[in-house]
């Protein structure tokens, strides 16, 4: 109890908590984009349930990993060496997760640009993914992002209560943002392509990190923000054109 009171009255602890909450929310964006795109392939009545299940299991997984922080930290220890490069369990998990993300995003892009009738596309999107398959894929990526998230948390603070509050806060934000983000992505086909491009970039970043090449996250998120702003301007321009065309039709 004294330990918790000491933390509650420590300005350094509050600064660490605020910084870690922001970091965890930012890291959660990657996971949320993947969950939104994946669940949008399910029948509409199953989507909210799948999102809640996916994000809920992400919370359980992260809290479970936090209870084994000492073991998680050991994942960064080298396991074997190849061509002069040492690989840890964390590296291998990041490489596997990155490859999966690149494969999944590339497959989704292929389906998006494949020349099919709307009826065939609708049929394919409803039969190629079941609820259990969606949850299994979400869980796989949850594991990759959770380990990355926990190792980031351990690197920023040694206080377990701060880590738990930050992780829970980030997952609550994900839970609140999941449905609006998924609806926005589903209603705007060009945003889907942009989001898939983000997933490929995130996947390549995970692979690079796994091979020991540090990629500053700030650069990745700056590129994502810039691309999103450009897409926002494109959407505004398209709306303006549609309004103008509608006005011209009304005048005639």
| 2-28 confidence digits (pLDDT tens) | 656 666 777 777 777 787 787 777 777
Q: Between the CA of residue 189 and those of 94, 134, 200, what are the distances in Å?
A: 29, 20, 17
- Please, which pLDDT band fits residue 116 given cuts at 50, 70 and 90? low
| 204-227 confidence digits (pLDDT tens) | 888 888 888 887 777 777 887 888
The larger pLDDT score, comparing residue 106 to residue 69, is at 106
Q: Which of 25-39, 78-92, 117-131, 230-244 has the lowest mean pLDDT?
A: 117-131
- Please, which pLDDT band fits residue 125 given cuts at 50, 70 and 90? very low
Q: What is the DSSP letter of 45?
A: G
At 41 the three-state DSSP class reads: coil
User: Which residues fall within 8 angstroms of residue 43, CB to CB, at 6 or more apart?
Assistant: 126
Tell me the average pLDDT of the chain: 78
Averaged pLDDT, 115-139? 63
Residue 54 has pLDDT above 80, yes or no: yes
Q: Which of 42-46, 107-111, 240-244 has the lowest mean pLDDT?
A: 107-111
Phi, psi of 88 (to 5 degrees): -105, 175
| Calpha distance 145→218 (Å, rounded) | 17
In angstroms and rounded to an integer, the radius of gyration of the C-alpha atoms of the chain is 21
Element (H, E) at 88: strand 85-88
Element (H, E) at 183: helix 160-187
| 136-192 confidence digits (pLDDT tens) | 888 888 887 777 777 767 766 667 777 788 888 888 888 888 888 888 877 777 777
Task: Give me 188's structure tokens.
Answer: 């705007």
pLDDT of residue 126: 46
- Please, which pLDDT band fits residue 117 given cuts at 50, 70 and 90? very low
């Amino acid at each position: 109890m004294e330990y918790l009171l000491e933390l509650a009255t420590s300005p350094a602890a509050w600064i660490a908590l605020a910084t870690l909450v922001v970091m965890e929310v930012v890291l959660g964006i990657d996971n949320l984009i993947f969950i939104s795109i994946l669940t949008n392939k399910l029948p509409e009545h199953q989507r909210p349930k799948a999102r809640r299940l996916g994000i809920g299991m992400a919370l359980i997984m992260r809290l479970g990993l936090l209870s084994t922080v000492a073991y998680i930290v050991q994942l960064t220890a080298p396991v074997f060496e190849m061509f002069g490069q040492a690989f840890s369990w964390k590296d291998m998990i990041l490489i596997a997760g990155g490859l999966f993300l690149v494969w999944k995003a590339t497959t989704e892009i292929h389906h998006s640009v494949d020349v099919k009738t709307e009826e065939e596309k609708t049929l394919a999107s409803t039969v190629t993914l079941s609820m259990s398959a969606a949850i299994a894929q979400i869980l796989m990526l949850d594991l990759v992002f959770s380990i990355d998230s926990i190792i980031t948390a351990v690197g920023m603070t040694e206080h377990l209560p701060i880590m738990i509050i930050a992780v829970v806060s980030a997952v609550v934000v994900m839970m609140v943002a999941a449905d609006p983000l998924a609806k926005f992505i589903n209603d705007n086909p060009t945003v889907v392509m942009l989001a898939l491009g983000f997933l490929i970039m995130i996947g390549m970043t995970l692979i690079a990190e796994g091979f020991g090449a540090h990629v500053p996250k700030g650069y990745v998120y700056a590129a994502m923000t810039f691309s999103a702003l450009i897409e926002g301007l494109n959407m505004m321009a398209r709306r303006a054109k549609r309004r103008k065309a509608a006005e011209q039709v009304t005048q005639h």
